[in-house]
Structure 1
Amino acid sequence: MLRTALRNVLANKARLVTTVLAVCLGVAFVCGTLVFAESSAAAYRAAASKDFAGIAVTVTPKQPPPGAGGEQAGALDDALVRKLAEAPGVAAARPAADGSATLNDADGRPLRAGKAWANLAAAYVPGQDGKDGRHPLVEGRAPRDGGELAVDSGTASAGGFKIGDTVTLATDGPVLKKRLVGIVRTSDSRVTAGGTLAVFDKATAQELYASPGRYTSIDVSAKPGTDEFRLAETVGALLPADRAEAVTGTAQASRQATYTDTLTRGHQKMPMVFAGVSLFIGSFLIVNTFTMLVARRTREIALLRAIGASRRQVVRSVLWEAFVLGLVSSAAGFVLGLGIASVLPGLLSTSQDRLPDGPLVIGPLPVVAALGVGVGVTVLAAWLPSRKAAKVAPIEALRADGRPPTATASRVRGAAGLVLLAVGGGLLVSLTGAKDASEANLQNAMYGCALIVVALIVLAPLLAVPVIRLTGRLTGRFGITGHLARENALRDPRRTAATASALIVSTALVAGLAVIGNSTGQALDRKAAAGLGADYVIGSRSTMTAIDPGAQKRVAATPGVRTAAGVADSTVFTGGAVRRIAGVDPATVGEVMRLDFAGGSLKDLGPGRIAVSATVAREQGVGAGGRVNARIGQNQEFTQYTVVGVYADNPTAGDVLGSLADVQRDSFLPGSVQRILVRADRAAVSKATEDRLRAAAGNSPLVQVKDRQALVDEAAGSLADLLTLMYGLLAIGTVISLLGIVNTLAMSVADRTREIGVLRAVGMDRAGIRRMIRLESVTVAAFGTLLGLAGGLFGAWGVGSLTNGAMKEYSLTPPWGTLLLVCLLSLTIGVLAAAVPARRAAALSPLETVADR
């Protein structure tokens, strides 16, 4: 029986090509996305990590207590560097004055500003040879004073810089302009992965990131054979215990690994979703293909039974055939998957935000997945139909062309499908009263959508007849070819349903995601500028950076500006949660913010008095006139504040409104503002005004100037991952559905060779044969698309209930253009899938096809 299985594989190579291709693609999608997920996560970990190679101990300053003097504020100076360099077991002590700096490119636009953790700055600290080994020069010279700067070669290339250019940059507020005098090389993976590096002279870096004469850290390397933990004890004994501490390189690497794992965790989720969807959809294709292959070999299996083979031997023979097929497909798919993983970073990268480079990481999971999908799914797909075929009596199998399902089997299928549909629909309907997207509600939504899709697949053979008869009215307009196409699709509803299953799944996913994405996007559009009375928002990128103190006056003096109100943004800790607080001036806030008060007002806003959003008021159980304990920014002591008003939730105002003086006093950058809300004359709202405002803000790379439309576009940008996922799923479903229909039609043509020959003999020309096959393919594609759309729309309605409860602006808004495009694409798939089978059918000779063999 093993030899029989191997002969079947070798004798039917052409028949099995599409099956191998289907399994190969399924394996490739799964393995490729898994390898990409592991590789990109490893590359991000390396990109977000400082290289601790050669660093045994790092000395860092301790946070000084409040009110400490200048001597307490820093202890890392040249004297300490010399003392550490002379300590037993120390090979070298290298001081550093590191921080962060964001640059503008040569055209005045922020350069790679989206990665704050990768916008590095450092001091050029020469050793005894007059060179800094961490920043070797490749062109020009090292910076010597506060007016000079060096950058790494990657930054110079991305920013369009050359020696002698003036570079605009910012560290935490004021705009700095420096002349580029040198280009250095760096091995820091945070920079080589798409970040930037600015190198200052030592005195300038100390002034920016530490204090004059002080450093931010000292890296200590060990002599060969020295234990780093003992060296840390030795170094620690030389430090002032209240002002500095020593940490081993191993401990720093461990801390950083925890941070980078958190930072890169999201990069593994989307590829895993792709892998799961690929496996789910690909499984339908594999199962359907093997079901048809075994069905075609029913007579062959019956003959084996007639000459003495047992049921177990027959099943084992088919399983060996599937095993060999799956093993070959797994190997080919694994190699193809590595190719997919290698090209994905280049396809997903942009000039401003590229994925970090790194080697492919091939762990055990992709290998196991390759075998599981290629061999496991293929063997399982062959076992079910082969076991069923082996149970058929030899004489019955030799006599019958095919056995339709019994009435009992159809009733069982219908009952099971209706139960699944009722349970899934019930879970989605139960979400209509949900007020938030809690974990329990999200799980119910996921389970409900999954059950709906499974129910449609179970019910598909029963729904095929009425749906195809309905759509057949359109194909009937093509005459006899259209009528024959409809009848061919109805001949075996189970096969038609299995062929359309991949389209059902992919269409349901894409339609559901498209509706949810479009509805949420429009809700975010409406919410983005809600509460904003200003025409422009000039803002820093975080609460840890600020706008140039003089910028507000320059903005106010800009032609066309009516009001320029500064806002100090910080954090406030109250009720066990960290929230956003905005410090405003009550005299001007009414012109730049639209606040809807349920109680109280801002007229009494001042020191010790705040206003809170409706959500905070509800959670804290306070109203106008109530009191809450809170602490703002870096203040470590709680203060009791009086609530002067409660306003409707407002993204412009944030969670809490406080007086400008209160927030500025305790913010992370005391006395600073993080936003300037600009109210312009109606005629002055233009691109020219925006450019003037950007210039008034100093063209700082830390500052963004946005009008109302830009805020709306930014909010819509948060759906980028969802849209990427949607189109990725559409591509996966398209490829697998195309293969499924090609497989089905190719086997259908082979099964109906004599029938096609008779049609040719009675007068149907080759064009008519091709048209009949194409219309049959389009009919199957339309059937799968209609069921998928129904399931996707219902699922989107149920999931949308969660968003509707949490976002008042949300309303179900189907993107009719996208849905129409999905339908047209599905019909196009039907036409393309029929191309090869239709050509093959039309090429058949009438006499040869009807001859006895």
Structure 2
Amino acid sequence: MLRTALRNVLAHKARLIMTVLAVSLGVAFISGSLVFADSTTAAYRASMAKNYAGIAVTVDPKYPPGAPAGERTTVLDDALVAELAAVPGVTAARPTADGSATLAAKDGSPMRAGNAMGKLAAAYVPGPDGKDRRYPLTAGRAPRTDGEVALDRGTAAAGSYSLGDTVTLATDGPVLHMRLVGIVSSDDTRVTSGGTLAVFGKATAQKLFATPGHYTGIDVSAAPGTDRIELARRISALLPADRAEVTTATAKAARQSVFIDTKTSSYARLPMVFAVVSLFIGSFLIINTFTMLITRRSREIALLRAIGATRRQVVGSVLAEAALVGLVASATGFVLGLGVATALPGLLGTADDLLPRGPLVIGPAPVLASLAVGVGVTVLAAWLPSRRAARIAPVEAMRTAEQPPSTTVSRIRGAAGAVMLLAGGGLLISLSGAKDASDENLQTAMLGCGVLVTGLIVLAPLLAGPVIRLLGRLTARLGGVAGGLAKDNALRDPRRTAATAAALMISTALVSGLAVIDHSSSRALDSQAAAGLSADYVISTRNTTTAIDAAAVRRVAAVPGVATASAVADSTMTAGASARPVSGVDPKTVGAVMKLRFTSGSAEDLGPGRIAVSSSFARDNRVSTGGLIKASIGPGQGGPGRGDRERSYTVVGVYEDNPTAQDVLADRGDVQQHSYLRNSLQRILVATEHHGTAASRNLEKQLRGAVDNSPLLKVQNRAQLVQEQAGVAGDLITMVFGLLAIGVIISALGMVNTLAMSVSERTREIGVLRAIGMDRTGIRRMIRLESLTVAAYGTLLGLAAGLFGAWKISGLANGAVPQYAFALPWGTLALVVVLSLAVGAAAAALPARRAAALSPLQAVAES
């Protein structure tokens, strides 16, 4: 039986190649994702090893609880550096003065400003030889004065800077202009993966990131053979326990390893989604292929049964064929996966977050996963056809090669499909009253969609008759006799037709549903971006850890055409166990720049100790107008020092949720007092004299000039805010078109396979048609219309399932984004339909050509 299985694989290798390709796609994504994750992790760790090369332990400052970031002083000074250098076993103690700096390119545009962790700034600390080994110079000289800076090679090239140019940058608030005097190199992972690096003279860096004469850290190198743990104990004994701490480089590397593992695993999630979908869709191709092969080999199987083969041997033979196909698919998929792993860093990396490059790391996990998935999926998908083969009785098989399903089986299928369809629809309908996208509701939605699609798959053979008869009216008009024959061929075996259409149905359901959700969400986010905003322009920092220069507010207000410039201080307010964003505003001007709809109270009553809250904040914290709430403003959610900042606030108003106002409105002075940066501002909302008119390029240019074209700040009009929000759903768009591509490819493979085998089965029939006068054009038209009918059937069911699911899930999205409204992306849906029908037409090309090439006498003789 094993030899028989091998002969069958070799005899049908042309037909099984489509199955191999379908399974290979899923295996490629899985193995490629695993190899990519391992390779990226190894590249990060290799770079990280360079970061800590020669460092045994590090000394970092600790700050008094609740101390604002702008007023923190460290105890790390030159005296401590000298003291640590004298510790037995220490070979060198290198002080650091590190921070963050946002740079502008030579043309004034911010450089990689979206990379929050990659805007590095450091001090140039020369050793005894006058050189800093951490930042070796490749051109020019080291910065010495306050007006000088050095950049790493990548940053200088990206910003189009040359030695002698003036570099525009900002560390916090005011814009700085410095002369570029040197180019350095760096192996720091944050720089090599898309960040920027600015290097200042030691005294300049101390002023910017610490205080004069003090440092932000000390790196200690040890003599060979020195025990790092013991060295850390010696150094710790010299440090004030409440103001400094010591950590081994190994411990720091371990912490970064956790971050790296988390980051690389998140990168692999999207390819894994494609892998699961491709394998799921491909399983229907496998089932269909083996079912058709078994149907064609019914006489052969019957003969094997007649000469003594048992049912178990028949099942084993079919599964052995599947295992051989799976092995080939696993090997092919693994090779393709190496290509996927090579391409992913370029596809997933962005200008602000480049992924490190390194050699591919091929461990045992990708190899074993490829084998397990490729062989496992193929064997599991072939199990049902193998059971059907085992039930073939010798006499029945000799009598006919094709037996219609029994009425009992059809009834059971219909009942099971109807139950699943009603259950899936019921679960989705139960979400109609949902008010939020909680985990429980999301799980119900996913379960409902899965059960609904499964029900359609089970019912597909029974639905094929009425739907294809309806579609057949159109094909009969388009193709005449050929169209009528195409309809009859599609109806000849509803199970085969349904299995062929299933792949296209699943991909169409996924793509249409996600496309509707994406389109509706994008419109909602566009609406939300400007909701609650009366101002015409928003000048803002990129996060609450940076600030706008206080003098810039006065300059903005003085720009001709500006009616109101209202400054906002952003921070967080911790009430109970949760921290929510708070906006510190001026009660006198907030009404001119924000659209606030109060359900009770008013913004006019804001003041020290008096706040207004959003409806969701009021609901979650069970407060109302006139009530008191204990809370603290500032970073952190507890710990030492929070009690000193916690106070009672009076709620003077409740307003409808507003993204511009955020969750809490407070007096600006209250927020500034406890912000991450004390007395800082994060936004300026600008209302112009000609409110509501189109944005003026000249006014926007003047506003940018008023804030010194700071790379820290964004100057956006209402349209630009909406456009920025449109990019939020980028990953979903990528997934939609990725799933569409996978569905198109696998559906095409399935249709080619089915039509090719169908043509082979109907050789005599085609010969008779040719003998009675149908020309080759008519034969080709018949095969193409049959393929289009099957494609249209799968597309119709998929669209119905996808649109229904997206419609019922819209309640969850509306709970998360109040502006969400169900909207159909007609262009995308039309593209899905056109591509699906194009798949049907393209898949029929080769089978139709082969059928038309058969001569009448040869067809009758071969059959």
Are 1:660 and 2:661 counterparts? no
How far did 1:623 drift? 2.1
- Count of aligned pairs: 853
Match of 1:811 among 812, 821, 841: 821
**How many angstroms does 1:451 deviate by?**
0.3
Which shows bigger deviation, 273-282 or 832-841? 273-282
Match in the other structure for 2:680:
672
Matched ranges for 1:772-783 at <5 A: 772-783=782-793
| CA gap 1:255/1:658 in 2 versus in 1, 3 angstroms | same
Name the CA distance, whole Å, in 2 between partners of 1:393 and 1:46: 64
Residue in structure 2 matched with residue 489 of structure 1 by the alignment: 490
Instruction: Single out whichever of 71-80 and 760-769 deviates more from structure 2.
Output: 71-80
1:517 is matched with: 518
Q: Distance in 2 between matches of 1:585 and 1:69?
A: 24
Structure 2 residue aligned with 1:292: 292
CA spacing shift, 1:706–1:285, aligned 2, 3 Å: same
Structure 1 residues 771, 46: CA separation in 2 closer, same or farther (over 3 Å shift)?
A: farther
Aligned to 1:722: 732
Name the structure 1 match of 2:588.
587
Deviation per residue, 1:285-316 (Å, 9 max, x gap): 22222222222211111122223322222222
Pick which of 96-105 and 620-629 moved more. Answer: 620-629
- Per-residue displacement from partner, 1:4-28 (whole Å, max 9, x unpaired)? 2222223333333223223323322
CA-to-aligned-CA distance 1:576-595 (integer Å, 9 cap, x gap): 21111111111111110111
**What percent of counterpart residues are identical?**
66
- The separation in 1 between residues aligned to 2:694 and 2:798, in whole angstroms, is 50
SS in 2 for 1:719: helix
Query: Any idea what the Cα deviations from partners look like across 1:547-596, whole Å, max 9, x if unmatched?
Result: 12221111112122111111111111113211111111111111101111
Please tell me whether residue 707 in structure 1 is matched to residue 710 in structure 2.
no
Task: Give, in angstroms, the shift of residue 350 of structure 1.
Answer: 4.4
Amino acid at match of 2:108: G
Q: For the residues of structure 1 that align with 2:72 and 2:463, how far apart are their CA atoms?
A: 79
Residues 461-480 of structure 1 aligned to structure 2 (within 5 Å): 461-477=461-477, 478-480=479-481
Question: C-alpha separation between the residues in 2 aligned to 1:73 and 1:588?
Answer: 36
How far apart, CA to CA, are the structure 1 residues paired with 2:217 and 2:695?
48
SS in 1 for 2:231: helix
Judge which range, 38-47 or 192-201, deviates more: 38-47
TM-score (norm 1): 0.96
1:333-362 CA-partner distances (Å, limit 9, x unpaired): 111111122112223444455444344344
Distance in 2 separating the partners of 1:626 and 1:434: 29
Q: Is the Cα contact below 8 Å between 1:302 and 1:390 reproduced in 2?
A: no
Unpaired stretches in structure 1, ≥5 consecutive residues: none
In structure 2, the residue matched to 1:694 is 704
Distance between the aligned counterparts of 2:405 and 2:86, measured in 1?
Answer: 88
For 1:416 and 1:71, the matched residues in 2 are separated by 70
399-408 vs 278-287, which deviates more? 278-287
Q: Label 1:382 to 1:763 Cα distance change in 2 as closer, same or farther (>3 A).
A: same
C-alpha displacement of 1:385: 1.4
1:400 Cα deviation (Å)? 0.3
Distance between the aligned counterparts of 1:397 and 1:771, measured in 2?
Answer: 33
Given that 1:49 and 1:190 are in contact with CA atoms closer than 8 Å, whether structure 2 keeps it comes out as no
Counterpart-to-counterpart distance in 2, 1:3 and 1:646: 79
- Trace 1:744-763 onto structure 2 (pairs within 5 A): 744-763=754-773
Shift of 1:265: 5.4
**CA–CA separation in structure 2 for the residues paired with 1:493 and 1:475:** 18
Structure 1 CA distance for aligned equivalents of residues 303 and 808 of structure 2: 52
Q: Is the 8 A contact 1:294 1:382 kept in 2?
A: no
Asked if structure 2 preserves the Cα contact closer than 8 Å seen for 1:73 and 1:243, the reply is: no
Alignment of 1:68-83 (within 5 A): 73-83=73-83
TM-aligned CA deviation for residue 765 of structure 1: 1.6
Q: CA deviation at 1:183?
A: 1.0
Q: What's the offset of the Cα at 1:256?
A: 3.0
User: How far did 1:439 drift?
Assistant: 1.0
SS in 1 for 2:711: coil
Structure 1 residue 598 and structure 2 residue 599: aligned?
A: yes
Counterpart contact for 1:34–1:272, Cα < 8 Å? no
Supply the distance in 2 between the matched residues of 1:555 and 1:31 (Cα, whole angstroms): 55
Matched residue of 1:587: which SS? coil
* Post-superposition offset of 1:671: 1.6
8 Å CA contact 2:568–2:668 kept in 1: the answer is yes
8 Å CA contact 1:586–1:605 kept in 2: the answer is yes
- Contact 1:193 1:357 survives alignment (8 Å): no
- SS of the aligned residue for 1:121 comes to strand
Measured after TM superposition, the shift of residue 816 of structure 1 is: 1.6
SS of residue paired to 1:155: helix
What displacement does 1:675 show?
0.3
Instruction: Determine which of 643, 659, 662 is the counterpart of 2:651.
Output: 643
* Larger mean Cα displacement after TM superposition, 247-256 or 651-660: 247-256
Residue number in structure 2 paired with 1:205: 205
Moved more, 71-80 or 811-820: 71-80
1:604 Cα deviation after fit: 2.2
1:625-640 equivalent positions in 2, closer than 5 A = 625-633=626-634, 636=642, 637-640=645-648
User: Could you tell me how far apart the structure 2 residues matched to 1:417 and 1:627 are?
Assistant: 56
Change (3 A) 1:633 1:261: farther
CA RMSD of aligned residues (A): 2.2
Aligned to 2:794: 784
One-letter identity of the residue aligned with 1:377 = V
Return the alpha-carbon distance in structure 2 between the equivalents of residues 65 and 336 of structure 1: 54
Deviation at 1:65, TM superposition (A): 5.5
The 5-angstrom pairing of residues 555-570 of structure 1 reads 555-570=556-571
C-alpha displacement of 1:414: 0.4
Decide whether the 8 Å contact of 2:76 with 2:216 is kept in 1.
yes
- Which shows bigger deviation, 435-444 or 89-98? 89-98
SS at match of 1:781: helix
User: Are residue 14 (structure 1) and residue 24 (structure 2) matched?
Assistant: no
CA gap of 1:292–1:33, structure 2 versus 1, over 3 A, is farther
Residues 113 and 565 of structure 1, relative CA distance in 2, 3 Å threshold: same
Contact 1:535 1:679 in 2 (8 A): yes
**Is 1:120 aligned to residue 120 of structure 2?**
yes
| Alignment partners' CA distance in 2, 1:290 and 1:684 | 64
Q: Does the 8 Å contact 1:37/1:271 carry over to 2?
A: no
From 821, 827, 836, give the equivalent of 2:831.
821
C-alpha distance in structure 2 between counterparts of 1:495 and 1:684, whole Å = 59
**How big is each residue's C-alpha offset from its partner over 1:175-206, in whole Å with a ceiling of 9 and x where there is no partner?**
11111111111111111111111111111111
2:859 is paired with a residue of what secondary structure? helix
Report the Cα distance in structure 2 between the residues aligned to 1:820 and 1:48, rounded to whole angstroms.
Answer: 49
Quote how far apart the aligned CAs of 1:128 are.
Answer: 0.8
Map 1:522-541 → 2, pairs under 5 A: 522-541=523-542
Q: Closer, same or farther in 2 for the Cα pair 1:207/1:440, shift >3 Å?
A: same
CA distance in 1, matches of 2:445, 2:171: 45
Q: Can you list the C-alpha shifts for 1:483-528, whole angstroms capped at 9, x where unaligned? A: 1111111111000100011111111011111111111221222222
Distance 1:33-1:69 versus aligned 2 partners, 3 A rule: closer
Q: Is the 8 A contact 1:41 1:268 kept in 2?
A: no
For 1:845 and 1:649, locate their aligned partners in 2 and report how far apart those are by CA, in whole Å. Answer: 74
Cα distance in structure 2, aligned partners of 1:70 and 1:679: 30
> Any conservation in 1 of the 2:520–2:820 contact (CA below 8 Å)?
yes
Q: Which residue of 2 aligns with 1:129?
A: 129
Which one is further off, 242-251 or 467-476?
242-251
User: Is 2:801 the partner of 1:800?
Assistant: no
Secondary structure at 2:133's aligned position in 1? coil
Question: Is the Cα–Cα contact under 8 Å of residues 46 and 189 in structure 1 kept in the other structure?
Answer: no
Map of 2:369 onto structure 1 = 369
Give how far 1:39 is off: 4.5
Distance 1:265 1:380, change over 3 A: closer
SS at match of 2:131: coil
Shift of 1:47: 7.7
Distance 2:172 2:12 in 1: 70
Q: For residues 584-634 of structure 1, what are the alpha-carbon distances to aligned partners after superposition, in whole Å with 9 as ceiling and x for unaligned?
A: 111111110111111111222211111111222222222222211111115
How does the TM-score come out when normalised to structure 2? 0.95
Amino acid across the alignment from 1:526: S
